[in-house]
C-alpha cells in the first residue's frame, strides 16, 4: 500500500479470483480479470438486470481478448449465470482492457448463447472501431505520422520507429479483435436504469476527458456508488497522454476539469475503480491526484530552465525503470505536462533546425 492509500478506506481487503464474482451490494458483483502487463488486472462489474421482461445481467467493461480472460468469463457463464443471459455490455471507454471482449460477450462467448447490445459514448465507440478495423486490415496504415510525432518530440529515429510499431493499430487489434458494427449511444447526464423492474438502480452517465475522448463513469445516487472506470484510481494516477492524432492537445487541463466535476459528488461515495480496490474517500483521492499533477507540473517547469524535449523529460517525471509498455504511456504523459504549461504561457515551444520541438521556461 502506498502512502496515498493510507488516507482512503477499503471495505474489501482482497479481490475475487478470476471467474469468481464477489457480491458487494445486492445484485452488484465485483469481477477481476488478468492483464499481461505490469498493471496486471482490471476490475469489471456485473449487475443483475431486467430488460423487456427478461432477467439477466449487465456487464460494465470487458477485459482484453485473450485466453485467460475468455476462460474466466466462460466459467462465470457456466457457474454463476444460472441459465440467465447477458442483456447488455456497457464499456466505459475504448482502451483494450475495457473494450477488448465486448463483441465476444455481446454474442454470448464461444457458444454464442445470446445477442446483447454494446452501450458506449459515441467518441469511444468510433475510435475503438476505427483502430480495430485498421489493425485487422491486410495493408496496415502508414506509421510515418506516428513515427514522426515521436521524432519531433526528441525520440531518435530507430527508437521512434520501434515505439510507433509497439503502439500501432495492429497492437490494438491483438487485444480488441472485433467491435460490434452497431451500438447504443450513451450521453452525459443520461439516466440508465439497471436491475429488476421492482428495484432498479438508476445510474447517471458522467463523461470525463483527458484519459480518453469521452470516458463514461456511472453514478448511482440511491446507493452512493460511483463506477469510476479509469477516471479515479486509488493507488496509481490515471494516464493522461498527448497522441499523434491531436499533437497540440492539452489533455491534462481537460482531466483536471473533469476531476473538479467529480468532486461535487457526495464525500461518502463508494468508488468502484477499474484498477485497485473499491474505496471510500473520493474527495481525498481527488485532492491527491490534483496535488500529484501540481507537483509534476512544478517539476516540469523547473526542468525547462534549459530547453527540453518531451523525451528528455521522462527521467525527470519517472524515476523508476520503465518497461516497453510503460515507456509509451510515460512519453505521452510527459508531453501532456509540457503542453499544459505551454498553453498557460509558462513555457515557450520552439522548433529547431533539426525539426525537434523543445520547451523552455518563459
Query: Any bridge partners for residue 12, and if so which?
Result: none
Closest CA to 259 of 283, 226, 281: 283
Per cent of the chain over pLDDT 90 is 86
Asked whether residue 272 carries a pLDDT value surpassing 80, the answer given is yes
Cβ neighbours for 275, distance < 8 A, ≥ 6 positions apart = 39, 41, 42, 43, 230, 233, 235, 236
**pLDDT, position 73:** 97
Cβ neighbours for 359, distance < 8 A, ≥ 6 positions apart = 304, 307, 308, 309, 310, 338, 341, 342, 347, 348, 349
Asked whether residue 164 carries a pLDDT value surpassing 70, the answer given is yes
- For 67, 129, 180, 247, 354, the CA distances from 336, given in Å and listed in that order, are 34, 25, 32, 10, 22
**Residue 196 and residue 48 in contact, taking contact as beta carbons nearer than 8 Å:** yes
Q: How confident is the model at residue 144 (pLDDT cuts 50, 70, 90)?
A: confident
Q: pTM score, two decimals? A: 0.96
List b or e across 264-303, with b for residues whose CB sees 16 or more CB atoms inside 10 angstroms. Answer: ebeeebbbbbbbbbbbbbbeebbebbeeebeebbeebbeb
- Sheet architecture: strand order including 215-220: 191-194, 201-208, 215-220, 225-229, 270-273, 279-280
Q: How confident is the model at residue 220 (pLDDT cuts 50, 70, 90)?
A: very high
**What's the rounded mean pLDDT across residues 302-317?**
96
Asked whether residue 165 carries a pLDDT value surpassing 80, the answer given is no
Asked whether residue 347 carries a pLDDT value surpassing 90, the answer given is yes
**What's the rounded mean pLDDT across residues 253-259?**
98
| Chain mean pLDDT for the chain | 94
Cβ neighbours for 104, distance < 8 A, ≥ 6 positions apart = 62, 65, 70, 178
In whole angstroms, what is the distance from residue 108 CA to residue 231 CA?
29
Tens digit of each residue's pLDDT (9 = 90 or more) over 237-248: 999 999 999 999
Q: How confident is the model at residue 140 (pLDDT cuts 50, 70, 90)?
A: low
**pLDDT, position 162:** 78
User: In the chain, what are the domains?
Assistant: 3-140+176-304 (3.60.15.10)
Q: How confident is the model at residue 1 (pLDDT cuts 50, 70, 90)?
A: low
Asked whether residue 122 carries a pLDDT value surpassing 80, the answer given is yes
In whole angstroms, what is the distance from residue 210 CA to residue 74 CA?
34
Query: Which class for 112: exposed (0-12), middle (13-18), buried (19 or more C-beta within 10 A)?
Result: exposed
Q: Which helix (H) or strand (E) holds 151?
A: helix 144-152
Amino acid at each position: 500500500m502506498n502512502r496515498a492509500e493510507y488516507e482512503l478506506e477499503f471495505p474489501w481487503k482482497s479481490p475475487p479470483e478470476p471467474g469468481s464474482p464477489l457480491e458487494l451490494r445486492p445484485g452488484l458483483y465485483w469481477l477481476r480479470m488478468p492483464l499481461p502487463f505490469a498493471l496486471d488486472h482490471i476490475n469489471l462489474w456485473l449487475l443483475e438486470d431486467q430488460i423487456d421482461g427478461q432477467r439477466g445481467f449487465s456487464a460494465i467493461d470487458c477485459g482484453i481478448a485473450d485466453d485467460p480472460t475468455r476462460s474466466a468469463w466462460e466459467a462465470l457463464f457456466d457457474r454463476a449465470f444460472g441459465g440467465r443471459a447477458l442483456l447488455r455490455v456497457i464499456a466505459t471507454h475504448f482502451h483494450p482492457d475495457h473494450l477488448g471482449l465486448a463483441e465476444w460477450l455481446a454474442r454470448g462467448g464461444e457458444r454464442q448463447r445470446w445477442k446483447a447490445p454494446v452501450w458506449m459514448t459515441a467518441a469511444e465507440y468510433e475510435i475503438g472501431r476505427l483502430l480495430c478495423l485498421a489493425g485487422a486490415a491486410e495493408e496496415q496504415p502508414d506509421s510515418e505520422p506516428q513515427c514522426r510525432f515521436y521524432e519531433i518530440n526528441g525520440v531518435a529515429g530507430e527508437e521512434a520507429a520501434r515505439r510507433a510499431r509497439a503502439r500501432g493499430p495492429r497492437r490494438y487489434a491483438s487485444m480488441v479483435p472485433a467491435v460490434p458494427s452497431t451500438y447504443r449511444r450513451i450521453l452525459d447526464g443520461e439516466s440508465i436504469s439497471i436491475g429488476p423492474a421492482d428495484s432498479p438502480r438508476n445510474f447517471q452517465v458522467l463523461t470525463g476527458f483527458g484519459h480518453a475522448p469521452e470516458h463514461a463513469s456511472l453514478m448511482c445516487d440511491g446507493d452512493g456508488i460511483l463506477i469510476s472506470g479509469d477516471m479515479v484510481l486509488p493507488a496509481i494516477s490515471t494516464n493522461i497522454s498527448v497522441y499523434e492524432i491531436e499533437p497540440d492537445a492539452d489533455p491534462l487541463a481537460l482531466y483536471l476539469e473533469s476531476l473538479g466535476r467529480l468532486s461535487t459528488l457526495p464525500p461518502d461515495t463508494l468508488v468502484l475503480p477499474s484498477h485497485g480496490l473499491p474505496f471510500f474517500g473520493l474527495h481525498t483521492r481527488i485532492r491527491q491526484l490534483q496535488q500529484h499533477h501540481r507537483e509534476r507540473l512544478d517539476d516540469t517547469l523547473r526542468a525547462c530552465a534549459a530547453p527540453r524535449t518531451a523525451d528528455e523529460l521522462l527521467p525527470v517525471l519517472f524515476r523508476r525503470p520503465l518497461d516497453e509498455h510503460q515507456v509509451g504511456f510515460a512519453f505521452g504523459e510527459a508531453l501532456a505536462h509540457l503542453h499544459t504549461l505551454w498553453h498557460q504561457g509558462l513555457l515557450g515551444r520552439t522548433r529547431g533546425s533539426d525539426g525537434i520541438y523543445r520547451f523552455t521556461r518563459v
